[in-house]
Structure formats: C-alpha cells, structure tokens
Structure 1
Amino acid sequence: MHNGQPLPYFQPLIDTATGRIAGYEALARLRLEDGRIVSAGPLFTDPQTDPDALLELDRSIRQQALELFRDQPEGFISINISPLWISRLISEQPLPSLQLLEQLGMQPGQLVFEITELQGDIRQLRDAVARYRAHGIRVAIDDFGAGASMLDRLLDLEPDIIKLDAQLLRQAANGNSHSREFVRALALMAERSGCEVIAEGIENQRELHFALECGARFVQGYLFSEPREGFQPVDSYVEPFASMRDAYVKQQQQERQRLAVLRQSLHTLFGELRQWLEQGAAPQRLPDPARWPWLLRCYLCDAEGTQISPNFDATATGWETDPALLDHNWSWRPYFHQILEEAGEDSRVILSSPYRDASSQALCMTSGLFFNDSRHLLLVDIDVSRIPATPAA
C-alpha cells in the first residue's frame, strides 16, 4: 500500500486571546527510505487503497501521536477520524480510541476528534460521538462549509468545535464578497450553537485578519508554523502574534474612523433632505448625488415601515424616480428593527449592519432618521464598497 514508515507530524493551533500554543493537530506522514518526509494524505483519498491497510496505518499514526503528546503539560491534541471507520464497528463494540486512551493513561480532555468526511451511517456516527463526549472528549467538524451536508452534521452531532474550510476562508479573505458573507454566516451560526471556531490554512496576515473578524478562537497555518515532528515551547508565537493582532486592531480602528466620517456626511445629507422635504419634495430640487459617491437611493416611510414615497435612485447623471415600491412595508427587514431600536431622538442618525441588497447585489447599509415627532422615517441606502477609505494616521 505504501513505502515508508508512518509517523505523526504536529501543527500548532494558536489561541487568539493569548498568542500561546493551545494544542496541535496530528497529521499523517511517511518517512521514505531516502529520508524524505511526505504526506500520507493522498492515501486516504485514493479509492485504490486497501481499506484494511489504511485503517491499520491510521491507527498506527494515532497511537504514536497520543503516546508522544501524553507527556505534554498542557493543551490538547486534535486527531482526524473518519466516519467510515466508525461505520465498520459492530454495534455496542468498545470504541478503539477510548480503549487506547485508557491504555495510555491519558485524560480525555486532552483529545479532540475531528470528523473529516461526510460518509458513513449518521446514526452510528451520532452514537459514537455521544460516547466520546460522555467520556470528556471534544468533537470537531473539519472543513466546515465545504459541503451542503455540513449543516446536517452540525445539527446531528452538536460539535464542540468547527474548523472552517481553508479554501473557502482563503477565497473570502482574498475579496470574494459572496464567500465573505457565507463564511461570516457560518461563523455566526457556530457562535450561536455554542461552538468554538478554528480557522486553518492561515498563510498571510490578510487571512488572519479575516479569521479574527469571524471570531476564530484558534488559528492554524503556515503563517505561524509548518507541521513538525515534535512540539514547540508554548510561548513560541506570543510576540509575533501580538504584533499581528495589534495590526488587526489598528485596521478595525481605521474602519471605525471611516464609519465616523460616513456618519458626518450622512448628517449633512439628512439635513439637506429634510430641508428638501419641507420645501415640497420636488424631485428636481434634490441635492446633487455626486457629492455622496456611496449613495444608492433615498425614500420615505411612515413610523410603521410602509413606504410613502417613490425611490429616488442616485445615478451618474442625477436622480431617477421609481414608484414601484410605494406602499411596500419594510418593518420585517432586520435593518428597520435596528434603526427602530436605536432611535432615541429625531436628530440621531442610525446606521444598520451591512447586508446584501436584493436588487443590486451590492453590499449595503441603510441609514435612517426619524423626524416629525417620529411619525416619519427618512431612509438612505449606502453602497459599502464606495465609502472612501480613511487615510492611515
């Protein structure tokens, strides 16, 4: 099946709160006769590989990894486990991994099992996961977001940890707007389900920043360390990680400054729009939209969220009036509730969280201002991509 000596390599997982090494993922490697070390991963995806020999290889590497990690004073070790192995077990048969832990005298809290694929009988898998967790072993879903069935796994297995799919995270970090929104949604789903998030495959600071933006509890990748044969001092990456985290915080501060400038511009815009309304709301007397390059449209609603004016759409040549949405009620939109909840005074400009605009597919925010003793709500839609950047200090 393979030529080479099986052995585990270990890649550290960095705690984003401390910068310390919180644990390791054990990865399968082969030492060839000429001394080269190669990944054993292709064997696990090759349909020509004999399943029995593959199971033997997997268990050999797992045992070596646990034996080596057993004497580590702190942290956890993450081991990949295939549902296919579990589906081959006889019902009520003792789980080999639990037997191995007992044999080695390891504490179950030191171990995380990563469910690596979607195959296998879900009932057997759910039963095995329940038994692992009953013994104090944590369970992770690997490559979360890579397949449609992953949501089923989240509901069925109730994992302690999810590992965001590295390729999807990389696409999102590199500017794919749809991937960014999808990964953010996955991370939010994990947070609301009580799962911790691991972002793996981190190779540069851009990907790290996006992982932090998604609330990753742990990060892993070549930006910090390649997989190695042994373990590293727990504080190995504290200083470089602190520097990277500070750069992220500075970036977030610049983003807040950018939004502060936007709010100032909105205050000016709303002032002019209120004056325009008070003067009769003639479309030809609207302020020049070119002064606000991020402006998509403005419109007026009553306090219950029903649109009582046409859309006034900003274009390169001025304004276009679109009455198609008159009498539509937007009170069900998340941004409407956010504006309603935050509004305290007529003069306060409220800014929603970003969302995807259904008509333009642009990433948008909506800003609102109540006036006339809160009987009317003036709304402005904003194209996030056109908000000017704030110069670095």
Structure 2
Amino acid sequence: MLDGQPIAVFQPFIDTATGRIAGVEALARLRGDNGVLHSAGPLFSDPKTPSSALRRLDREIRGQALQQFQQAPADWFLSLNISPRWITRLRAEQPLPSLKQLQLSKVDASRVVFEITELSGTSSRLKKAVEQYREAGARVAIDDFGAGYSQLDRVLALQPDILKLDMQLFQDAARGGPSSEVVRALAKMAEKTGCWIIAEGVETEAQLHFALECGARYVQGFLFAKPSPTFHSSDAFVEHFAQLRDRYVAQKLNERLTQIDQRKHMQALLNSLAAWPLNKPPPALPATDRYPWLIRIYQCDANGNQVTANYQRHADTWLEDSRYLGHNWSWRPYFHQLVSEGREESRMICSGTYRDATSNLYCLTAGQFINDGQHLLLMDIDASGF
C-alpha cells in the first residue's frame, strides 16, 4: 500500500528570542524509486488506506526520528505527531507504543514534545495518555489550534504546554480582516493559559510579522527551511532572522510614530468640540475631508446615558441621528476605562478595536470628559485608518 520507502525528515522551529533553531518536527516522507521524496500526508487522509499500514508507517517514522535525534544538539527538542484515534483504540491498561519507543531510544523525555493531531478520539482516553506523557517527563502540544471549536474544550481538558496555530487559519489571518482578530484572540487565550505559541506555515515576511505580533515563541516554515532528512546547524538562520526582526521592529516603530501623530489630531478635534453645549448641535462640525477616519460624535453623561444625538458622517456631510438618545453604554469596556482614567487625568482615552453594529466597520472609540467632568465627549473612529 505504501508507494515508496518511509523516510523521516525534519523541519526546524526558530526561537523568536534568539533566531536559533530550538528544535525540529519529524515528518513522514516516502522515497520513490527515482529518489524523489513525497509527503505521506495524503495517505493519512485517504479513507482507503488501511489503519494497520498507517500505524506501521507512523511508528517507523517515529523510530527513525528518535534514532537520528540522538545526533542533534543537546538543547534541541523533537516534536512527534500522535494521532488521538489510535490512542483511543488501545486497551485501558495497554502501554503507549510511543512511550515504549521513547524509552528504547534513550532520548531524554524532557526533549520530546508529543504533538496531538486531528480532532478525533475520546477525551477521557486522550487525557489519560497526556498524563502518561507528562509523568514520563515529556511535553504536549495541540496541532492545528483554531481549526475547530471543539479544540477549545480540548485545551481546557488537556492543558497543553504548546499550541500550534492552524496553518490555513494563520495564513489567512496574516492577510488581515476578521480572521486576524480571531487569531490574535486565540494567541491571547494561549498566553493567559500559560501555553507557548508555534506559528507554522511561515512562508513570507508578512506572515513572520504577524506571528511576532501574536507573540509566537517559535516559527516554522519555508521562509527559513523546508523539511530535510538532515539537520541544520543551530545558528544557520540567526543572521537571516535578525534582518527580518530588525525590519519588523523598524516597521512597528514607524507605525507607533504614526499613531502618536494621529492621536494628536484626535486630541485637537476633541478640544475643538469641548465647548459643545448640551441639547444643542455642536457649534462647528468638523470638515469631513480633514478627518476621513471620523464616523460619528456624541455625548454621554457620567453614568453612560447618551444625552445627545449622534452626528454621523455620511459622504461629505453630517447627519443627525436621535435614535440612540437615552441608550446606556456603561457596559462597554471602553466606558470603564474612560471613567476610571479620563476623569482623574482629564485626557483623551482610546478603546481597543471592536466591530460597530451600525456601520459594520471595525472601530475604536476615543473620548474625554467635558463640562467640568459632567459629560463624556465621544467619537467613533474607523480603525482601518489607524
């Protein structure tokens, strides 16, 4: 059933703190009669491939990887893929074949990460296997994190050490749009649960930048190296990574300087509207061409009740919208920040990015107290301009 000789190949993980190789993932390839290597991945996704053949292939690759890893630098770790569906077929007290291989290899378990793939398998049996891996001294990772909602339950149940972002989701997110916010939220969740993040499929500089924004501890992908039967030296990509990191830092510094300049414009606009009397239109609405990022302006009282109409930007004019008079926005996260910081410091406060229900745009809200702290002057801003 296997068209070729099974070969273990290795793709490095780059440590974002040093640019050095921190470890490798073992992957399965089949060497054809012509010597060309082909991925064994399609065999695992083909329902016609017998499970027994896949188990033999999996164990053969794992055995080769452990044997070759004995020649790797002592500070590297080895990531081995483990299928939950095979774990759940084991008898309750049956030893884990992967642990038996590890023990026979003489590789220190602390240098091994067992990477749980797929979404199949019963949680109770899988949780027991994870406990056994940890008892042996190994770490545990969840692969393709974000590919399915059920993985959130799996993270809570297994409490992994490492999360590998789903490659397709990560690459889509690196292009921007709603998926980028999803991946940032997943990365933030991982940080709060004490997990390290691995971003795989890093093929472009833009994708590396996004991985760094998400706080990835390790990156993996063709931007640095394709899977290979041999190991690279630990510092093979240090110079390349340093150049990419320096460009990323320079870009982020430029973005920050731009944001500071934009905040000055926002502050100037708020100052110009600070004399807005209650129950009357603003004395002078801002020129729409001067503030293309401005969506609307309005006032709330200190309890979060909207006390003026919205003045909504529409093309090159302003429209008055009284539908939200009396609505209470105190439950919004930005409101707590404005009240706690803005009143004491009499300065502009900006919220994080959120999706505006009226315009369907990604927005942020800026505001400050006016009228001796009696009212909040607020403006909603198109986040794409920032």
The yes-or-no answer on 1:49 pairing with 2:49 is: yes
User: Which one is further off, 364-373 or 346-355?
Assistant: 346-355
The yes-or-no answer on 1:374 pairing with 2:373 is: yes
Measure the CA separation in 2 of the matches of 1:250 and 1:358.
Answer: 35
Measure the CA separation in 1 of the matches of 2:126 and 2:358.
Answer: 43
Aligned counterpart, 1:133: 134
Q: SS state of the match for residue 202, structure 2?
A: coil
Q: Amino acid of the residue matched to residue 124 of structure 2? A: R
Q: Amino acid of the residue matched to residue 35 of structure 1? A: G
Does the 8 Å contact 2:23/2:79 carry over to 1? Answer: yes
Aligned counterpart, 1:340: 339
User: Which one is further off, 207-216 or 153-162?
Assistant: 153-162
Does the 8 Å contact 2:366/2:378 carry over to 1? Answer: yes
5 Å matches for 1:222-237?
A: 222-237=222-237
The yes-or-no answer on 1:146 pairing with 2:147 is: yes
Q: 1:275, CA displacement in angstroms? A: 2.7
The yes-or-no answer on 1:92 pairing with 2:93 is: yes
Q: How many residues align?
A: 385
The yes-or-no answer on 1:244 pairing with 2:244 is: yes
Q: SS state of the match for residue 275, structure 2?
A: helix
Aligned counterpart, 1:115: 116
Compute the TM-score of the two structures, normalised by the length of structure 2.
Answer: 0.96
Aligned counterpart, 1:169: 170
5 Å matches for 1:182-193?
A: 182-193=182-193
Q: 1:38, CA displacement in angstroms? A: 0.8
Q: SS state of the match for residue 246, structure 1?
A: helix
User: Which one is further off, 98-107 or 280-289?
Assistant: 280-289
Q: SS state of the match for residue 11, structure 1?
A: strand
Q: 1:40, CA displacement in angstroms? A: 0.8
Q: 1:255, CA displacement in angstroms? A: 1.4
Aligned counterpart, 1:61: 61
Aligned counterpart, 1:202: 202
Q: SS state of the match for residue 267, structure 2?
A: helix
Measure the CA separation in 2 of the matches of 1:206 and 1:295.
Answer: 28
Does the 8 Å contact 1:305/1:330 carry over to 2? Answer: yes
Does the 8 Å contact 1:345/1:370 carry over to 2? Answer: no
Aligned counterpart, 2:306: 307
Q: SS state of the match for residue 8, structure 1?
A: strand
Compute the TM-score of the two structures, normalised by the length of structure 1.
Answer: 0.94
Q: SS state of the match for residue 62, structure 1?
A: helix
Q: 1:345, CA displacement in angstroms? A: 4.7
Measure the CA separation in 2 of the matches of 1:26 and 1:323.
Answer: 62
Does the 8 Å contact 1:290/1:316 carry over to 2? Answer: no
Q: SS state of the match for residue 274, structure 2?
A: helix
Measure the CA separation in 2 of the matches of 1:253 and 1:356.
Answer: 26
Identity over aligned residues, as a percent?
54
Q: Amino acid of the residue matched to residue 155 of structure 1? A: L
Aligned counterpart, 1:217: 217
Give structure 1 regions of 4+ aligned residues with deviation exceeding 6 angstroms. none
Unaligned residue ranges in structure 1 (runs of 5+) = 388-393
Measure the CA separation in 2 of the matches of 1:312 and 1:367.
Answer: 15
Aligned counterpart, 2:70: 70
Q: 1:121, CA displacement in angstroms? A: 1.5
User: Which one is further off, 330-339 or 44-53?
Assistant: 330-339
Measure the CA separation in 2 of the matches of 1:292 and 1:261.
Answer: 13
Q: 1:283, CA displacement in angstroms? A: 4.9
Does the 8 Å contact 2:29/2:37 carry over to 1? Answer: yes
User: Which one is further off, 267-276 or 238-247?
Assistant: 267-276
Q: 1:281, CA displacement in angstroms? A: 3.6
**Residues 39-71 of structure 1 deviation map (CA, whole Å, 9 limit, x = unaligned):** 111111110001011101100000100111123
Aligned counterpart, 1:390: none
Q: SS state of the match for residue 277, structure 1?
A: coil
Does the 8 Å contact 2:83/2:118 carry over to 1? Answer: yes
Aligned counterpart, 2:33: 33
Q: SS state of the match for residue 289, structure 2?
A: helix
The yes-or-no answer on 1:158 pairing with 2:159 is: yes
Measure the CA separation in 1 of the matches of 2:131 and 2:235.
Answer: 34
Measure the CA separation in 2 of the matches of 1:243 and 1:254.
Answer: 17
Q: SS state of the match for residue 325, structure 1?
A: coil
Aligned counterpart, 2:317: 318
Q: 1:211, CA displacement in angstroms? A: 0.7
Measure the CA separation in 1 of the matches of 2:345 and 2:233.
Answer: 57
Does the 8 Å contact 1:4/1:33 carry over to 2? Answer: yes
Q: SS state of the match for residue 236, structure 2?
A: coil
The yes-or-no answer on 1:180 pairing with 2:177 is: no
Q: Amino acid of the residue matched to residue 18 of structure 1? A: T
**Residues 85-110 of structure 1 deviation map (CA, whole Å, 9 limit, x = unaligned):** 10111101111121122112121111
